[in-house]
Homo-oligomer: A and B are copies of this chain.
Amino acid sequence: MTGTSCDGIDLAYVEFNENSDSFLNVIAFETLNYPAEASQFVSECINEKKHISELSQFGFYLSEIFAESINEFLSARKIPRNEVDFIAVHGQTLWHNPMKENFLNRQISSTYQAVNLSALAKLTGIHVIGDLRSGDIALGGQGAPLVTIFDYDFFQDNSKDRILLNIGGISNLTYLPKENSKENMMAFDCGQGNTLLDLACNKYFGVGYDKDGEIAKSGILNEELLSLLFEDGFIKSTPPKSTGREKYNLAFLENALSKLDYSPKPSDILRTLTEFTAEAISFNIKNFCTEDFEIIISGGGRNNIFLMDLLASILNNSTFVSIEQFGIPSDGKEAIAFAYLGWLYLKGITGNLPSATGAKRSTILGTFAI
């Protein structure tokens, strides 16, 4: 798994034992280095035009990078490759356009996850399942969220009301009131997660992220900027909905800043962005879910202590628990959920939940490379 923030390559080695008490067994998880050149290229792709030759090369380049990461991961643990049944790979999202738009005189929606699946299979000698979002998009869905079925199959509890909240580049949640049915699941993107925080840290402080949220904590909330950030409307829109870096990027922040007739202090900007993130998440929980739930948190944002404190103070009727208490590494949840989608493909089980994605019907997700 590589997310929109390009901050690492998450590798999870997972065993699914369908007929055992421990259906899911996370054997190993590690985040390997995402090359700076690749991260730079992804960012350029979003902000400027590229020649097709570069995009062609990038897909195969990523297959090489991913194959080396997988080979390194396996050999460090002495896992023979013939014990690995398959690789599930998300691919690097370069674009996600779930709403139909005019393109060459047709109404088209699409998603683009870079990596050549066939090359990855040949370079590792392991079967690959990827492009997991496209099938749902083709059936009119948002192509997201896809972790919902994982959340349902492993966290639905008939005695407890739960929300699974993941704060990655984008923040998303799965709503699991007790005795909910699979056909009636709600899960959606709340809005910005770490993306804007990391971009602002990089721009104003030359660091990759705001460790523990210390920079934000030192700043002062700018109410005017906060309301400008909310103007885009996504956060308050009704689910199902999904978003990505094509919305929450530097241009988004600069657009809001340009409407002020002064330049706020960088630490105030970071403070305001962190409050914006907390508000975006809590608005969605309060308005589209219920407040007094057990909230199971995952994703890199969980390490931002200040953001967590803000969330806990706004959602003061909820209990917060880390997903690690369930044997799942906090940063590994999405990688593990996508491994599960790969497993579902091989079992011929549908992976999308139309109530969450908006697709016309449920379908088997993924493309297979031998």
Contact = CB atoms under 8 A, between A and B. Distances in A.
Interface of A: 35, 37-38, 41, 45-46, 48-61, 63-64, 94-95, 97, 101, 103-106, 108-112, 116-119, 121-123, 131, 134-135, 137-139, 246, 345, 363-370
24 contacts: A48-B49, A48-B51, A49-B49, A50-B50, A52-B55, A52-B94, A52-B95, A52-B112, A56-B97, A56-B111, A57-B104, A61-B108, A64-B106, A64-B108, A110-B116, A118-B138, A119-B135, A122-B135, A131-B369, A345-B370, A366-B370, A367-B367, A367-B370, A368-B370
A267 to B, nearest CB: 33
Contact of A97 (B49, B57, B110): B57
Nearest to A104: B37
A14 B251 CA distance: 51
A38 B104 contact: yes
A110 B49 contact: no
Copies in the complex: 2
A108 B116 CA distance: 12
Given A60-B109, A138-B60, A104 B35 contact: yes
B138 A63 contact: yes
Contacts of A135: 118-119, 121-122, 369
Nearest to A60: B110
Contacts of A49: 48-51
Contacts of A35: 104
Contact of A55 (B55, B366, B370): B55
Contacts of A345: 370
Considering the complex of A and B, which 6 residue pairs feature the smallest CB-CB distances, nearest first? Answer: A56-B112, A49-B49, A119-B138, A60-B110, A118-B134, A56-B95
